[in-house]
């Protein structure tokens, strides 16, 4: 049975303001755009999410056309991943842009058969277009979609029925709440298409984004502070390493514990950590016994600026603050 659409369609309409057309440098004033993309705020950076195949042959610099005709420059900032995803970073001053930043559905959100979704992009070179589509298969095997791709056997796609044409690739697939649940990747004969699930997008944002000096943004403020007190976690937020003698070791954090909370926010995925500024409180839980261990940083070590610009200060002083 199809899931009832209880969201506000106004959120879907507002999503149009987040969708862009991507042009190769030097062709920004032509009709030869490469594909679609959408704005996503990645902490202090404004990203444009799109497909890797959209950017092929375009170099590293691109021009972005917004829904209102505004044009800005962007550069690629991903290292490439196993699925067809890519990211651009706006290099102009973007604070005055008239745009919307889309939110991505929670990692636990599941797309289901017959869900009514909305593909937004520029099909057939017509910008700012919304197509209503219906899910045919929420987990279509990649071997049927891209049989010649080296990772096809491991990829899954959302297969949907609806009109999305060439030019839609890289655009968002959103639910009735305006939350991104997929990235349009390929279209077959204008009658149905495929989108990369948002769960793959979340992994991509966690693992494959980098900025200047190849510093991956998965090393968030929260992650750096955890590292500075001797804790390393895996993709499931489980502690896989505790440095002997560091603050976390002194407080009783052990391998096998799981990061459960930062400040007053429960942490369900590594992606959740991206949205937390000035993390000052970490809570770990021992799964087998529901035992918790809490760590709190002193306020003088919580400046984002000091964390970004003086890692040695953080390494030496945060450890000391934990041991007091």
Do residues 162 and 192 touch, judged by C-beta distance below 8 A?
Answer: yes
What's the pTM value of the predicted model, to 2 decimals? 0.64
Phi/psi of residue 122, each to 5°? Answer: -130, 65
**Residue 73, H or E segment:** strand 71-76
**CATH number among 3.30.70, 1.10.760, 1.10.3470, 2.30.42, domain 218-323:** 2.30.42
pLDDT at 184: 94
What topology does CATH give the domain 19-90? Thrombin, subunit H (2.40.10)
CATH topology of domain 103-203: Thrombin, subunit H (2.40.10)
Domain ranges of the chain: 19-90, 103-203, 218-323
**Same fold: 19-90 with 103-203:** yes
Per-residue pLDDT of the chain (324 residues; tens, 9 = 90+): 556 556 668 899 999 999 999 999 888 877 789 999 999 987 667 899 999 989 987 777 899 999 998 999 998 888 766 678 999 988 877 777 888 899 999 999 999 999 999 999 988 778 889 999 999 999 988 777 765 544 445 578 999 998 778 889 999 999 999 999 999 988 766 678 899 999 999 988 887 776 543 333 333 556 666 776 778 887 677 888 888 877 778 888 888 888 888 877 777 666 556 556 667 788 888 876 666 777 665 433 333 333 333 333 333 333 333 332
| Burial of 242 per CB tally in 10 Å (0-12, 13-18, 19+) | buried
β-strands 281-286, 258-262 pairing? antiparallel
């Amino acid at each position: 049975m199809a899931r009832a659409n209880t969201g506000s369609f106004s959120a879907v309409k507002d999503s149009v303001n987040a969708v862009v057309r991507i042009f190769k440098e030097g062709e920004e004033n032509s009709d030869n755009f490469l594909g679609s993309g959408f704005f996503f705020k990645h902490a202090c950076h404004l990203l444009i999410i799109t497909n890797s195949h959209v950017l092929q042959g375009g170099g590293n610099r691109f021009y972005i056309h917004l829904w209102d005709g505004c044009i800005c420059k962007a550069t690629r900032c991903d290292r490439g991943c196993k699925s067809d995803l890519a990211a651009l970073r706006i290099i102009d001053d973007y604070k005055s842009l008239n745009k919307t930043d889309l939110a991505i559905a929670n990692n636990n959100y599941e797309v289901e058969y017959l869900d009514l979704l909305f593909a937004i992009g520029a099909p057939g070179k017509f910008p700012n277009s919304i197509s209503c589509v219906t899910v045919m298969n929420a987990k279509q095997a990649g071997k049927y979609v891209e049989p010649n791709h080296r990772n096809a056997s491991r990829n899954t796609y959302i297969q949907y029925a609806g009109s999305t044409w060439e030019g839609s690739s890289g655009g968002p697939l959103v639910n009735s709440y305006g939350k991104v649940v997929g990235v349009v990747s390929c279209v077959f004969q204008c009658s149905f298409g495929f989108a990369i699930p948002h769960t793959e997008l979340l992994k991509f944002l966690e693992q494959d984004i980098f900025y200047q000096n190849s510093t991956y943004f998965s090393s968030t403020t929260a992650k750096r502070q955890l590292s500075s007190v001797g804790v390393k976690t895996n993709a499931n937020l489980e502690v896989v390493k505790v440095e002997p003698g560091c603050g976390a070791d002194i407080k009783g954090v052990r391998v096998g514990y799981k990061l459960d909370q930062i400040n007053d926010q429960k942490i369900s995925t590594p992606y959740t950590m991206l949205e937390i500024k000035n993390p000052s409180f970490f809570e770990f839980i021992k799964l087998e016994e529901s035992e918790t261990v809490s760590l709190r940083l002193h306020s003088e070590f919580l400046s984002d600026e000091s964390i970004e610009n003086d890692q040695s200060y953080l390494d030496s002083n945060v450890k000391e603050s934990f041991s007091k």
